Amino acid sequence: DTGVSQDPRHKITKRGQNVTFRCDPISEHNRLYWYRQTLGQGPEFLTYFQNEAQLEKSRLLSDRFSAERPKGSFSTLEIQRTEQGDSAMYLCASSPGTRRKGNYGYTFGSGTRLTVV
Amino acid sequence: AQSVTQLDSQVPVFEEAPVELRCNYSSSVSVYLFWYVQYPNQGLQLLLKYLSGSTLVKGINGFEAEFNKSQTSFHLRKPSVHISDTAEYFCAVLAQGGSEKLVFGKGTKLTVNP
């Protein structure tokens, strides 16, 4: 169990550029989540996948944001035409899919800190 | 919809003193409850969770929390804190049988002073 890995750890980009982040979940976890955390706030839900299917999206996920999990393993989050308001920590988490076992509690990665200048 | 209120944004304490971090929630359905800790520039680590059963739950690093349904609270406690407990603590809820969305409070910054 190597935990949830996120890459890159830090990204500085100019306003208007596109950025892509990657998340590798714990291998046996089939649920994957993206959250955004701005300074002084708790994490806010963006979207979640079960295997390769994107099952829930927040209204926070504007048209400039797209997330994929093509083979049900790693996931990418792309932000197009970045704005200064996109500056935040982007957190990925994963969890097992078997709720019957009461196996709740996500495992979070260390996050990608995005700064838009 | 669910919401979480963490009543204190900052809690300073001295080393070896007891501490309580307060959390209240609002929900129209039953929820599961969680406490996470976040060290600087890191992700969140699960401290403990309440799913069902005994209302007093014990977690890692000597922390415990008590679920109070009538007061819709889930306060986190530790009888004696260490310098290494300095971190941000987040309370979160998850609706039972519904959305996969964890709803977090704004966090409480715990600072343990020598």
pLDDT band at residue A100 using 50, 70 and 90 as cut-offs: low
Task: From chain A, pick out residues whose CB is under 8 angstroms from the CB of B98.
Answer: none
Task: From chain A, pick out residues whose CB is under 8 angstroms from the CB of B92.
Answer: 42
Q: What is the pLDDT of residues B13-58, one digit of tens each?
A: 999 999 999 999 999 998 999 999 999 878 899 999 998 888 999 9
How far apart are alpha carbons A45 and A31 in whole angstroms?
14
Non-local (6+) Cβ contacts of A31 within 8 A are A48, A49, A50, A94, A95, A96, A97, B100
Q: What is the pLDDT of residues B10-20, one digit of tens each?
A: 999 999 999 99
Interface touch B34/A105, C-beta < 8 Å: yes
Amino acid residing at A47: T
Mean pLDDT of B90-99: 87
Distance from the A42 Cα atom to the nearest Cα atom in chain B, whole angstroms:
4
For an interface test with A, give the residue of B101, B106, B108, B109 to mutate (most A CBs within 10 A).
B101
Cβ atoms < 10 Å from Cβ of B26? 13
